[in-house]
Amino acid sequence: MPELPEVETIRRDLKKKILNKKIKQVLVTGKARVNLDHKGFVKVLKNRKFVNIDRVGKLLIFDIDLKNRFLLVHLKMTGQLIYTRGQQVTAGGHSDVKYNFNLPDKSTRVTFEFVDGRKLFFNDSRRFGYLRIVNATELQKVKEKFGIEPLVKNFTLENFEKILQGRKTNIKAILLNQQLIAGIGNIYADEACFDARVLPGTQVSELTSGQVLKLHRAVEKVIKKAIEERGTTFNNYRDSEGKRGNFLKFLKVYGRVGLKCKRCSGIIEKTKVAGRGTHFCSKCQK
Ligand SMILES: [Zn+2]
């Protein structure tokens, strides 16, 4: 699933490509998850422009040049946004693709066509992702459901300690809870716990203050580095600007079960914590 770094990467990329470009047509397929009937959805967006793209957690917020209307896009498990200019492609989201970009294909749910002929495709093979048109009040309500962003000023040690206070669960469940901290998913939760040398299944009440400090630093560090490296999306693929997601090679535990720990002589193990496949080294994480 695309997490904060992957969603932030596509947000930054798309901002450079599609802002203030008139939308000539919008095509919605029968299987798309949109919150209006298809005609109503198209009517809001046709002949409009996106004037900004914002993000909260893993949710993208497209600001439309129409008073009091915003488009929310959540990629969920398999969602992708792919912008094409002939053979040139800018893509982000779920990384499982054939790299032929012969679009639209059977996973294409919504297509935006701009006046210059360039297109933005929303693909989603498993259809957990969605597009929603909302007004400012609804947007505010949605935003309020998200916890602190790991890279903003108020993600302080003090606020992190407040989040942990009195919780009767394990640290991984806290890191994954979008209402507490926004944007961290399975990959970066495991990586942050490894960086902090804390086992993901550790009960919050059993964490030492030293471990809490290390976890706080680890969350910031891992997310920051992942954004710098454009996340893990499309690691095998270079987009039209020669960029690709490089963070996969920096992953220390996620997806490395059975391999040697990059920090000690241990072997990476996998178990289930907070209902999710969880990777860790039992030798150097305590
Ligand atoms: Zn280790």
Catalytic residue flag (residue 191)? no
Catalytic residue among 3, 6, 8, 191: 3
CA 210, 216, 222 angle in degrees (round to 5)?
125
| 183 has pLDDT over 80 | yes
Q: How do the domains of the chain map onto residue ranges?
A: 4-144, 157-280
Q: Which of 2, 5, 150, 200 is catalytic?
A: 2
Determine the Cα–Cα distance for residues 126 and 110; give it in Å rounded to an integer: 14
* Amino acid 219: pLDDT: 98
Q: Is 167 designated active site?
A: no
Catalytic residue among 48, 252, 276, 283: 276
| Global pTM value | 0.93
The pLDDT value given to residue 264 = 98
- Taking alpha carbons only, the member of 135, 119, 130 closest to residue 25 is 119
User: 79 CA distance to ligand 1 centroid (A)?
Assistant: 33
Kindly report the CA angle at 192 between 187 and 193, in degrees rounded to 5?
105
Catalytic residue among 49, 58, 172, 214: 58
Interval 221-249: pLDDT, tens: 999 999 999 888 766 555 656 677 778 88
C-alpha 185 – ligand 1 centre gap (Å) = 22
Output the CA 269–ligand 1 centroid distance in Å: 10
Contacts of 3 (CB under 8 A, 6+ apart): 58, 183, 184, 185, 186, 187, 188, 226, 231
Per residue in 144-173, pLDDT (tens digit) is 999 999 999 999 999 999 999 999 999 999
Q: Is residue 161 among the annotated active site residues?
A: no
CATH tag for 157-280 (out of 3.40.50.150, 1.10.8.50, 1.20.910.10, 3.40.640.10) = 1.10.8.50
pLDDT given at position 235: 60
Ligand 1 center to 208 CA (angstroms): 20
- Catalytic status, residue 58: yes
Sign of the dihedral defined by the CA atoms of residues 27, 92, 18, 129, in that order: positive
Cα-to-centroid distance, 265 and ligand 1 (Å): 6
Partners of 277 in the beta sheet? 272
Look at domain 4-144 and name its CATH class.
Answer: alpha beta
- pLDDT above 80 for 97: no
Question: How far, in Å, from the CA of 260 to the mean position of ligand 1?
Answer: 8
